[in-house]
Amino acid sequence: MNVHANLTSGALLVLNSGSSSVKFTVFRVEPEGREITPLFAGQLTGIGTDARLSAKTAAREPIADESWADRDTGSVPVLLPHLISWIERHLPADLPLMAAGHRVVHGGANLHHPERITDDVLAELETLIPLAPLHQPQNVAAIKVLAESRSDLPQVACFDTAFHHAQPAHATTYAIPRHLTEAGIRRYGFHGLSYEYIARQLLATHPDLATGRVVVAHLGNGSSLCAIKDGTSIDTTMGFSVLEGVPMGTRSGGLDPGILIYLMRKFDMDVNDLERLLYHQSGLLGVSGVSNDMRVLLGSSDPHCAEAVDLFCLRVAKEVSALACSMGGIDALVFTAGIGEHSAAVRAGVCAHLEWLGIELDRARNAGDEALISTDASLPVHVMATDEEFMIARHTVDVLTNRGDARHGPAAQIEGASGSGEGCCTAPAQAQET
């Protein structure tokens, strides 16, 4: 694996590999990594069932929508080399692929910063597979496939856990015997790349809030919330695994742990049964019995779908209050990710439980495309587009141009925001980044 090459200019591939999909974005990197601009993005979905590639340019013009079912043998390692050659065929002639950045869900107790991937780093990532069985195997598989097929390509791992690393011990510790905490049974937190991006955007667009107390609700396929104070993660709802906190598409969110003991005793469930139940059969899908997709639930007349949405909204609202408590107050609430950015109904459902906190949504603003969706008298509630891929690209370039070390720490987490508008991926590098 190439660990020495420095990035100057060329194309940068960002990969976010999930259990049944691989999302990718290709960026143009200008000399010395000063500017990062998206060229095209897409996803390979339905891996294992009916793989399909779709992709669009940065101007949202479709460049692919094709079935890859004929080459689908149900795994990321088989399809990824095809994806890499498809990407290379679509690059401008003067822009060779010169590096890859990966979203890696778990960095464990030791990996707190984006890391250039070496054999040692890869070995450490593999040890973390049991901690994130839904995501980590796919993240590791993508790194290995690229290392085999393009050993010349430097690769960087960016961790979902890293943004939460500086949380105080009372936020990361479970009330279990100390030797288990010391063995790594602690709260790590996830979706950190998304929270880091939002913190940067806040600094660019709302500097007053960037130094205040903000609860960010990342509501997507996986959902979590984070308390960000002065640009730093103070507390978050996901913990040891991506199961804690609010219910998700197919994940349970927090449960009374006594339920697990009962299920094992009463229904003879083993570890595989529990894993299937908690990761794949619960959440919105489990409660509705219909779908894990919020759009389907909101469009359904089935009372179980309405029940799932209501439960989700209440659980999110309760976490907003809990996180406000962790920060000693709240100056703003931000909604982001698929549901948070696009569902006015869910935002209204959540905020209806938070009137006591001084939150009041403006109906018209919430229904429209406004960034500020609360009334003028309310505690501010914002909708902001997240961009985990941009964050990965930024970190990858910084690591490969040796600017990474200067960016670590809370101030670095929000320094150098693009100022280029929500959801926009172009971010000139800052002069002070050395």
Ligand X SMILES: CC(=O)OP(=O)(O)O
Instruction: Encode burial over 325-357: b for 16+ CB neighbours within 10 A, e otherwise.
Output: ebbeebbbbbbbbbbbbbbbbbbebbbebbeeb
The helix or strand, by DSSP H or E, that contains position 15, with its residue range, turns out to be: strand 10-17
Q: How far apart are alpha carbons 17 and 43 in whole angstroms?
A: 9
Which of Mg ion, ligand X, ligand ADP, none has residue 105 at its interface (CB below 5 to 8 Å by kind)? ligand X
CB-CB contact of 176 with 367 (8 Å): no
Size of the site for ligand ADP (CB under 6 A): 13
Q: How far apart are alpha carbons 191 and 223 in whole angstroms?
A: 8
CB-CB contact of 45 with 51 (8 Å): yes
Q: What binding mask, one character per residue, do residues 222-241 give for ligand ADP by CB under 6 A, x or -?
A: x-------------------
Q: Which is nearer to ligand X, 27 or 163 (CB)?
A: 163
Q: Which stretch binds ligand ADP (CB under 6 A): 113-121, 176-184, 314-322, 336-344?
A: 336-344
The catalytic residue positions are 160
Instruction: Establish if 249 lies at the interface with Mg ion (CB under 5 A).
Output: no
Q: What is the DSSP string of 338-386?
A: HHHHH-HHHHHHHHHTTGGGT--B-HHHHHTT-SB-B-TTSPPEEE---
Residues numbered 194 to 223 that lie near ligand ADP (CB under 6 A) are: 220-222
Q: How far is the CB of 139 from ligand ADP (least distance, A)?
A: 14
Residue 365 among known ligand-binding residues: no
Q: Which stretch binds Mg ion (CB under 5 A): 215-223, 326-334, 369-377, 392-400?
A: 215-223
Out of 181, 221, 420, 426, the residue judged to bind ligand X by CB under 6 A: 221
Determine the 3-state secondary structure of 245 from DSSP.
coil
Residue 388 among known ligand-binding residues: yes
Out of 18, 42, 192, 220, the residue judged to bind Mg ion by CB under 5 A: 220
Residues numbered 225 to 254 that lie near ligand X (CB under 6 A) are: 242
Report the interface residues with Mg ion, using CB under 5 A: 220
Report the interface residues with ligand X, using CB under 6 A: 105, 160, 190-191, 220-222, 242
Report the interface residues with ligand ADP, using CB under 6 A: 220-222, 249, 293-295, 298, 337-339, 342-343
